[in-house]
Amino acid sequence: MLKNIPPIISPQLLKVLCEMGHSDRIVIADANFPAESIGKNSIVIRCDGHGIPALLEAILTLFPLDTYVDKPVNLMEVMPCDSTKTPIWDTYKEIISRYDERGAKAVSEIERFAFYEEAKKAYCIIATGEKAPYANIMLQKGVI
């Protein structure tokens, strides 16, 4: 047992967060994201049954966001043909603002298929049970 590790962080996820270096990226993927096919060259960690906000909060207690880039947090942009609303993004921005002084300014959107291409280069993809639409989020690690 360790002290001060959020209980939602599994031993496998803690190990991966420790292994990651500056500029490595991690994707926290919603339940619809093709984690296994996109992540065939990455580490895929299953966190079924967990939502992204709780995981994001826990990860950011341990994980510094990259200060060498303007936007170390990327969201999957809503397709122009889709009228889906994304209130979960406001939740993400609130969480991020607790851990990074840039707050919402650290967040950008990436076109859906470009997000998939960037996710293929991620060190790790966390597959969650999150059901909110367009809930995928990518974090770029900084330095301590």
Please list, residue by residue across 119-143, b when 16 or more beta carbons sit within 10 angstroms of its beta carbon and e when fewer do.
beebbbbbbbebebbbbbbbbbbbe
Neighbouring residues of 98: CB distance < 8 A, sequence distance ≥ 6:
57, 60
Q: Which of 66, 100, 123, 134 is catalytic?
A: 66
| Strands, E assignment, 7-143 | 25-29, 43-47, 73-76, 107-110, 124-128, 137-140
Q: Which of 22, 68, 82, 90 is catalytic?
A: 22
Task: Please say if 92 is a catalytic residue.
Answer: no
Q: State the residue for tokens 């995981």.
A: 55
Task: Please say if 82 is a catalytic residue.
Answer: no
Task: Transcribe 31-64 into DSSP letters.
Answer: TTS-HHHHTTTSEEEEETT--HHHHHHHHHTT-P
Task: Please say if 48 is a catalytic residue.
Answer: no
Catalytic positions, written as ranges = 22, 66, 116
